[in-house]
Amino acid sequence: MINRSDYPADFLFGTATSAYQIEGHKFGGAGSTHWDSFAATPGNVMGLGNGQLACDHYHRFEEDLDLVAAAGFDTYRFSTSWARIIPDGVGSVNQQGLDFYDRLTDAMLERGLKPAATLYHWEMPSALEDRGGWRNSDIAKLFGDFTEVVMACIGDRMFSVAPINEPWCVGWLSHFEGVHAPGLRDIRATSRAMHHVLCAHGTAIARMRALGIKNLGAVCNFEYANPIDNEPENCAAAARYDAIYNRFFMGGIFNKAYPDLVLEGIEPFLPKRWQDDFDLIGVPIDWCGINYYTRSNLGHKEGAWPNIQTHEGPLDKTEMGWEIYSDGLFDFIMRTHQEYTLGLPIYVTENGMANDDFVKNGVVNDDARLEYISAHLLAVLKAVKQGVPLAGYYVWSLLDNYEWSLGYEKRFGLVHVDFETQKRTPKKSYLELKKALKC
Ligand code: FCB
């Protein structure tokens, strides 16, 4: 395991969660979201699990933040739920919802934790999904309105804010692969969602600047695209995957352009005059967050664009079946610095693994997680030593939680949660990280 003293003195260590995955959506007057209806549809989510109770963080946040602080973390990344704050997505504000984030913020500050907010981590209010959700071009403005409501309340106390978690998941995974809510598989829906999510990002940044909120960024996810061999058509498939996953959103935000390899498939379906939105999408920001977990092994597939087939790879895998490949994190940090952010601070805003964890005699031996985190922290250190302005690293996740379409089956937490009793048990990885953060 690394030690804190191996890193620059102002490097921040943190851990991350998201609203729907932990809070318990049934509490506090929150409105319905597209994850509630997606989860209620057979075949979408393992065990039909939803976020109605989750980790009951809504009532237990003090205890949970005590765990964050006791581990020695400097910062906590959380998200705000649109439907908790504005149950119908537009119009009346649910004061109880705002009060919750107000209390949460103060509770972080009381413990010396820097609050790192994400405005949207995937739960769209159902009333807005009914109006087309991310497919509707009005969504950027409505998201801007939501942003103002949240930030007028807690913005003065945030360390950092990012509008949207992982635009690739919001656009592609949810509208092309149908794996996440709203579960669509439609290229027109995908193209529009991919573009509108970036318009929403830019709108939120502009609204927050106008409110005087500081330290605004973007959080994108990355997956290393490895061709299965050197055959040109397999390499081309990997390059397309890389462009869709790793270059489209970064290109829009930092270079005001979309990669040709993506446009060749989606351009016919983009909204009219999409090029006119780049000044909004590419509005300057202060930092970039990288979420990184794994790599994919890719080959050519006959049929319709994007002609990509994913293959099982040879590396060790986590409980998600995801290959463990820490060199990929190093590569993405370098690429982000050299091709996109050009000197802005970079954070690793999510990294971690699912493991088959269970409590035995009060102990959870998750050595595999410890190894995973250590390997990725070494990749971070390597990039720091090459002069990249890396400013922090967040472990996903503080708690075992609602892992979206995999329900409660996959455990990513540093802290084990018994979903029957809500008992929290710090795992070995938590205890070892706590030691490392003291040294
Ligand atoms: C990321 C998500 C997070 C969690 C992890 C495992 O893509 O941001 O909510 O599901 O994956």
Distance (Å, whole) CA 14 – CA 159: 12
Q: Which two tokens stand for residue 250?
A: 């970064």
| Closest C-alpha residue for ligand 1 atom 9 | 18
Q: Please work out whether the CB of residue 18 comes within 6 Å of at least one atom of ligand 1.
A: yes
Q: Could you tell me the distance, in angstroms and rounded to a whole number, from the CA of residue 217 to the centre of ligand 1? A: 18
Query: If we measure between CA atoms, which residue out of 37, 250, 252, 25 comes closest to residue 126?
Result: 37
Contacts of 169 (CB under 8 A, 6+ apart): 122, 180, 221
What is the model's pLDDT at position 1? 77
Q: Which two tokens stand for residue 242?
A: 């890389």
Q: Please work out whether the CB of residue 296 comes within 6 Å of at least one atom of ligand 1.
A: no
Q: Amino acid identity of 305?
A: W
Q: Please work out whether the CB of residue 123 comes within 6 Å of at least one atom of ligand 1.
A: no
Burial (CB count <10 Å: 0-12, 13-18, 19+), residue 284: exposed
Give me the long-range contacts of 334-338 (CB less than 8 A, separation at least 24).
334/383, 334/386, 334/388, 335/246, 336/250, 336/288, 336/290, 337/383, 337/388, 337/389
Every domain of the chain and the residues it spans: 4-436
Q: Please work out whether the CB of residue 322 comes within 6 Å of at least one atom of ligand 1.
A: no
Distance (Å, whole) CA 432 – CA 163: 32
Distance (Å, whole) CA 406 – CA 239: 28
Q: Is 310 helix (H, G, I), strand (E, B) or coil?
A: strand
Question: b or e along 321-351 (b: 16 or more beta carbons within 10 Å of the residue's beta carbon)?
Answer: ebbbbbebbbbbbebbbeebbeebbbbbbbb
pLDDT in 10s for each residue of the chain, 439 residues: 789 999 999 999 999 999 999 999 999 999 999 999 999 999 999 999 999 999 999 999 999 999 999 999 999 999 999 999 999 999 999 999 999 999 999 999 999 999 999 999 999 999 999 999 999 999 999 999 999 999 999 999 999 999 999 999 999 999 999 999 999 999 999 999 999 999 999 999 999 999 999 999 999 999 999 999 999 999 999 999 999 999 999 999 999 999 999 999 999 999 999 999 999 999 999 999 999 999 999 999 999 999 999 999 999 999 999 999 999 999 999 999 999 999 999 999 999 999 999 999 999 999 999 999 999 999 999 999 999 999 999 999 999 999 999 999 999 999 999 999 999 999 999 999 999 999 9
- Superfamily classification of domain 4-436: Glycosidases (3.20.20.80)
Is the Cβ–Cβ distance between 1 and 374 less than 8 Å? Answer: yes
Task: Kindly write down the DSSP assignment for every residue of 104-142, as one continuous string.
Answer: HHHHHHHTTPEEEEEEESS--BHHHHTTTGGGSTTHHHH
Q: Which two tokens stand for residue 150?
A: 């949240």
What is the model's pLDDT at position 233? 98
Is the Cβ–Cβ distance between 44 and 192 less than 8 Å? Answer: no
Q: Could you tell me the distance, in angstroms and rounded to a whole number, from the CA of residue 240 to the centre of ligand 1? A: 23
Distance (Å, whole) CA 110 – CA 9: 22
Q: Which residues are catalytic?
A: 166, 350
| Closest C-alpha residue for ligand 1 atom 10 | 403
Q: Amino acid identity of 40?
A: A
CA atoms within 13 A on the CB side of 281: 23
To test the pocket of ligand 1, the residue of 35, 119, 324, 396 to mutate (highest count of ligand atoms within 8 Å of its CB) is: 396
Q: Amino acid identity of 74?
A: D
Q: Please work out whether the CB of residue 350 comes within 6 Å of at least one atom of ligand 1.
A: yes
Beta bridge pairs of residue 117? 78, 161
Distance (Å, whole) CA 280 – CA 288: 17
Q: Which two tokens stand for residue 337?
A: 């610095």
- Which H helix or E strand runs over 75? strand 75-79
Q: CA geometry: angle at 132 spanning 127 and 133, to 5°?
A: 70
Beta strands in 121-213 (DSSP E): 160-164
- Ligand 1 atom closest to Cα of residue 410: 6
